[in-house]
Structure 1
Amino acid sequence: MSAIMEAVRLVKRYPTGGGMLHAVDEVDLAIQPGESVGLVGESGCGKSTLVRLLGRLIEPTDGAIVFEGQDIAPVPLRRFVHDTARGRIQVVFQDPTESLNPTLTVFETVADPIRRLGTAGDRNALAAQVRKAIALVGLPPEMETRLPHQLSGGQRARVGIARAIALRPSLLILDEPTSALDVSVQAVILRLLADLRSELGMSYLFVSHDLNVVRLLCSRIVVMYLGKVVEEGPTEALFRDPRHPYTRALLASIPNPARRGQTPWRLEGSASSPIDPSPTVCRFYGRCPRQEDACAKTMPALRAVGSDGVHRAACHFAEETSA
């Protein structure tokens, strides 16, 4: 099966006063049709930059972004906003309050991308398409005339999702869409997202710092650290048997009453600088509890571990770190 989207050695660097900041560094990532992939890592690891690259909101420094068989990386941003692929890749942003135009009603917010990128003909066809998207996210018809400040946080989140699905995209990129919501509202929105993926057959790239949320929604997880993918694999396999020490640290940070009284597994040392990092030193060197000579001499490649061939880790000792 061909991937619906594939990043190939994708790079994004920013010039700074002291050199080049490697925000995304030769990342390979594939998303299959109908698949829900979780992207995790602590703040500053590059996941938000990767999301903006894949959504074609910023220009890549190097590499390819193959979407439905077409490399869209070379298309300039000002041209891509009118490209037919633009409507098939949609993004749901972290803060619905900031991402919604305060002067547009719910109806106009959802109608805007259809007018710009869709094929709705007359006014009646447009209205039908808008109302179908609004109904799909569970908002009642009387909400159509309201402005964002007249909505609750959960309702604003639903409007952001309705706007994104109005064009029936192939890929929905969700950039921490529930982090600004109360816990009770988060659960409702996550259930809605799961139902929409099943009903509309979309692929998801779900970005979150909450591993429990990712576990509920995603069948595969990709772990980033300092611009690199350090581990990826099926969700349950990664939770059960993490092969990279950074993944182990992330999982150990999840509150678990069963571990009460035990000494927590934690990282020591300090992170490497993302500015002009050495190409021959493991990015995790300096925080890793192992730190052997090989780690300071050779950057570990992302390679298959285990017998299934789909669980991969970038660690010289991945075979030895089975939980």
Structure 2
Amino acid sequence: MTALLDAQNLSKLYPVKGGAKGSLLHAVDGVDLRIEAGECVGLVGESGCGKSTMVRLLARLIDPTSGRIFLDGGDVTAVTQSQFVASPERGRIQVVFQDPTESLNPSFRVFQTIADPLKRLLKLRNADDIAAKVYRAAMLVGLPRELVQRYPHQLSGGQRARVGIARAIVVEPRLLILDEPTSALDVSVQAVILRLLADLRARLGMSYLFVSHDLNVVRLLCSRVVVMYLGKVVEVAPVEQLFANPRHPYTKALIASIPDPARRGEARPRLDGNPTSPISPNPNVCRFQSRCPIASAECRTIMPELRELGGGQSAACHFA
């Protein structure tokens, strides 16, 4: 069965200025990622693991160094990023960015902000058609009609977050990429926006890629989780299976770091040592071995491949 999104062997390497000749920073390195129609997939990992680069690659904001991205079976990497901007496919993948204040044009009223994708991507010109779609999107995200004529600085943080979501859904995308959409909001507002996102997915039938540092949020919203470490996927599993039985040492450490009063006093996995450099890393060495509590000589000579462990769970560890 064809997945909605299928990224195959996706890589993004950046030349290092001032480094040794030929040095490359491996931001994303040989990643495979599938998202089914109607599915919500969580993407987690520490800062610097490659999550943001994955967002930019999948949204076609940058070109991959190698690999392919298929949307409904069609290769969206067959054209360059600059060509994709003008493609009809552009409207099928939309992004809700991390900081709604920074991602909104301060000189645009809310109406203009939501209408802009309709004009650029759907090429709508009829004022009545545009207005109808703008007000429908505002209604779907719970934005009062009277706020649509305001500027971003006249809105609260939660209202600006709703504008960002409305702008993304107004063109009726198949896939919505959510790049830590609640991290800049107060905790009470976060809960409201998360409920809104869950409701929108059910009503509109979109698929989500939800990128977050907050594993509790991922557990609530997502059905499957992808864990990244230094540009590599180290574990993939259904959400409850991942939390009940993580198989990679890095995943175990991430889950153990979640604050939980019930575990007070319990010994937790510690990650000592220094992270491996992402600049031209040895392809025959596990990226995590320098911090891994169970690393062996095998980990320093053979890169573990992501392998199926049963029940939809995979891990890239010799001891999984």
Scaled to the shorter chain, the TM-score interval is: over 0.9
Q: 2:31, 2:269 → 1: CA distance?
A: 28
Correspondence 1:293 to 2:312? no
Percent identity reads 66
> Given the alignment, which residue of 209, 225, 231 partners 2:229?
225
Uncovered stretches (5+) of structure 2, i.e. residues with no partner: none
Aligned residues: 316
Task: Name 2:26's counterpart in structure 1.
Answer: 22
Question: Higher mean Cα deviation, 169-178 or 9-18?
Answer: 9-18
Question: Once superposed, what is the RMSD of the aligned Cα atoms?
Answer: 0.8
Listed one character per residue, the Cα deviations across residues 218-237 of structure 1 (whole Å, up to 9, x for unaligned) are 00000000000000010000
Task: Name 2:189's counterpart in structure 1.
Answer: 185
> How far apart are 1:145 and its partner, in Å?
0.6
Counterpart of 1:63 in 2: which secondary structure? strand
Say whether the 8 Å CA contact 2:253–2:268 is kept in structure 1.
no
> How far apart are 1:120 and its partner, in Å?
3.6
> How far apart are 1:121 and its partner, in Å?
5.0
Say whether the 8 Å CA contact 1:252–1:266 is kept in structure 2.
no
Task: Name 2:309's counterpart in structure 1.
Answer: 305
Q: 1:10, 1:122 → 2: CA distance?
A: 40
> Given the alignment, which residue of 76, 80, 84 partners 1:76?
80
Task: Name 1:194's counterpart in structure 2.
Answer: 198
Say whether the 8 Å CA contact 1:7–1:64 is kept in structure 2.
yes
Q: 1:100, 1:15 → 2: CA distance?
A: 31
Q: 2:276, 2:125 → 1: CA distance?
A: 54
Q: 1:202, 1:218 → 2: CA distance?
A: 13
Task: Name 2:163's counterpart in structure 1.
Answer: 159
Listed one character per residue, the Cα deviations across residues 34-90 of structure 1 (whole Å, up to 9, x for unaligned) are 000000000000010011000000110000011111111131122111101100100
Q: 1:225, 1:120 → 2: CA distance?
A: 42
Say whether the 8 Å CA contact 2:236–2:314 is kept in structure 1.
yes
> How far apart are 1:299 and its partner, in Å?
0.4
Q: 2:73, 2:254 → 1: CA distance?
A: 34
Task: Name 2:60's counterpart in structure 1.
Answer: 56
Listed one character per residue, the Cα deviations across residues 224-277 of structure 1 (whole Å, up to 9, x for unaligned) are 000000000100000000000000000010001111122332111111000000
Q: 1:73, 1:270 → 2: CA distance?
A: 35
Over 6 Å off, 4+ runs:
none
Q: 1:123, 1:280 → 2: CA distance?
A: 59
Correspondence 1:142 to 2:154? no
Query: TM-score when scaled to structure 1?
Result: 0.96
> Given the alignment, which residue of 227, 239, 242 partners 1:235?
239
Uncovered stretches (5+) of structure 1, i.e. residues with no partner: 319-323
Counterpart of 1:65 in 2: which secondary structure? strand
> How far apart are 1:216 and its partner, in Å?
0.6
Task: Name 2:100's counterpart in structure 1.
Answer: 96
Q: Which amino acid aligns with 1:147?
A: Y
Task: Name 1:269's counterpart in structure 2.
Answer: 273
Q: Which amino acid aligns with 2:255?
A: L
Listed one character per residue, the Cα deviations across residues 140-191 of structure 1 (whole Å, up to 9, x for unaligned) are 1001110000000000000000000000000000000000000000000000
Change (3 A) 1:119 1:199: farther
Task: Name 2:40's counterpart in structure 1.
Answer: 36
Q: 2:106, 2:282 → 1: CA distance?
A: 45
Listed one character per residue, the Cα deviations across residues 193-229 of structure 1 (whole Å, up to 9, x for unaligned) are 0000000000000000000000111000000000000
Q: Which amino acid aligns with 1:130?
A: V
Listed one character per residue, the Cα deviations across residues 9-43 of structure 1 (whole Å, up to 9, x for unaligned) are 00000000321000000000000000000000000
Say whether the 8 Å CA contact 2:37–2:207 is kept in structure 1.
yes
Listed one character per residue, the Cα deviations across residues 103-155 of structure 1 (whole Å, up to 9, x for unaligned) are 11111100000011115452111100110000000011001110000000000
Correspondence 1:13 to 2:13? yes
> Given the alignment, which residue of 107, 115, 119 partners 1:115?
119
Query: TM-score when scaled to structure 2?
Result: 0.97
Q: 1:74, 1:249 → 2: CA distance?
A: 39
Q: 2:97, 2:278 → 1: CA distance?
A: 25
Q: 2:14, 2:173 → 1: CA distance?
A: 30
Q: 1:249, 1:261 → 2: CA distance?
A: 16
Say whether the 8 Å CA contact 2:270–2:293 is kept in structure 1.
no
